[in-house]
Amino acid sequence: MNFKKKNLMKNRIFVSAFLFLLLWGRTFLPAQNTQTIESVLIQVGNLLAELRFDEAIALFDVIPSPERDTSDFRLLRASILSSAGRYEEALAVAEAVSRAEPGNDEAMYVISAIEGAMGRTGQQQSQLEALLRTNPNNIDALIELGKLHLRTRPRSLESAEANFRRAHSIDRTNVEALLGLGQVLRLKGAWSESESFFNEAVSLYPEHPDAWAERARLYRNAEFLVNALFDLDMAARLDPRNYWISIERGTLLLEMNRRSQALEEFDRAVSINPEESQAYIYTSALKDELGDLEGAKNDYAMLARLRPDYFYAFEGLGLHMMRTGHWEEARDAFMEAYARAPDDHFYALLASICWMRVQMAGPRQFLTQVMPRLVLDSPERQMFRLFHDLSAMSNPGERDMTIRLDRMPDQILKARLLFYMAQFYEIRGTINLANRYYLMIYEMEDRMRAIPEWRLIEWTLRSRNLIPR
């Protein structure tokens, strides 16, 4: 299960049970126990707000018996155990309540939520459907089943709508039903009807950040970007520590071509959660583009640490390490990129070039292993052969490569190979020839700027005063 969704589910489990029990404690407990239990519940709420789950669970020992053995308190304990990630313990507690009280809707609902937090959506769905068979008007179950169907769209979109509409017919002011219907209708393209539900949610619950954020998504889809930004501003004001609202606001600002403001928003997301990777995908590229090269390098390094499967992070890190002449670090980064994207053989060549800056013959065996993976007689393989034979006294393939480059129809491939030809001359110390090839690429059509090597070409030419800074 997605980490964000899992945390939302954990919060949903706790909030429902906690508010119910706090009200229950005030209304029905014996007078001598009311103060003690309310005090404990308040302490539990404070600890949960600080994510101190184990301490919150320990407080249940303070609750006097027999109250702590009631089904309501046991279900609250199960909910907190689930929030702590102690799913098997949580499930055992909730299932024991359900066995003792087969008609207990809250127990069935808590079990379904724990199953969902564990990523067992099939069991979650079965539990919710069983609950609705015994109580077809259980709004919580209808809404959670609607959300579950919504996550498995498109085939379940109609089922999601049916569940949300039923929940809405039971309680027309339920914010979850309003937002669920708005989401379904947005996905179905019924934008006017979708807007009406979001408008109702915003009108009834102006302090609910999700109401504003969901309407912003609708406006963004409909290309009303100014309206979308206004709603996301409201959502961010109401929930300033929400990482994902910050990410959405940043991507919207990018879409509006407000790049400096977008970078500020993504940096804010990093400050909210520096261990989440998504923001670094944007900050690294934007800092690169806006001239903060050291910042870009640092963010690529963070992204590579947090998302080792994301080979573009290693590409960006490698390019920046080449820029600063950190050849061994650059080599290692490109080797990591090549390990994750073995069909992009230019990563292997970049790694080899960096290796040669430290030890000329170092990558020779590596190049020998890579070359058989390339198409025989392809220009890419011929370029690999040039570098493989670079330490030889003479290199007869050099002239053939230059003739082949002149006649090459694929301009993107030509641009990339011209870069490697420039690198070939760089390593040999023939800087004037290298510069000539860099300038040839720079003067090609603008679409060449999309090649990964472009940034190195630009940095090199600027550092040599061959193009304006």
The count of other CB atoms within 10 Å of the CB of residue 167 is 26
- The residue segments making up the domain with residue 27 are 3-200
Residues 167 and 24 in one domain: yes
pLDDT of residue 44: 83
The count of other CB atoms within 10 Å of the CB of residue 25 is 21
Buried b (16+ CB within 10 A) or exposed e, 129-152: eebbeeeeebbbbbbbbbbbbbee
Query: The tokens of 457 are what?
Result: 């070409």
Q: What is the pLDDT of residues 304-352, one digit of tens each?
A: 999 999 999 999 999 999 999 999 999 999 999 999 999 999 999 999 9
**DSSP output for 244-264:** HHHHHHHHHHHHTT-HHHHHH
Please say whether the beta carbons of 371 and 385 come within 8 A.
yes
The total number of structural domains in the chain stands at 2
Q: Mean pLDDT in runs of 10 for the chain (469 residues)?
A: 36 44 43 64 82 86 81 90 92 95 93 94 94 95 95 84 97 97 96 98 98 98 97 98 98 98 98 98 96 96 97 97 97 98 97 96 95 95 93 71 93 96 94 96 91 94 93
Residues 321 and 195 in one domain: no
Domain-embedded: residue 99: yes
Phi, psi of 228 (to 5 degrees): -60, -40
Domain-embedded: residue 353: yes
| Cα(334)–Cα(340) distance, integer angstroms | 10
Tell me the C-alpha to C-alpha distance, in Å, between residue 458 and each of 406, 441, 448, 453, 465. 22, 10, 12, 9, 11
pLDDT of residue 35: 53
Boundary-marking domain end, from 145, 168, 200:
200
Boundary-marking domain end, from 178, 200, 222:
200
Residues 317 and 185 in one domain: no
Boundary-marking domain end, from 200, 221, 250:
200
What count of Cα atoms within 13 Å lies in the side-chain half-sphere of residue 139? 14
pLDDT of residue 8: 37
Provide the CATH number for the domain around residue 359: 1.25.40.10
| Cα(45)–Cα(125) distance, integer angstroms | 29
pLDDT of residue 430: 93
Domain-embedded: residue 205: no
Displacement of CA 306 from its chain's centroid (Å)? 11
For 310, left (φ over 0), alpha (ψ -120 to 50), or beta?
Answer: beta
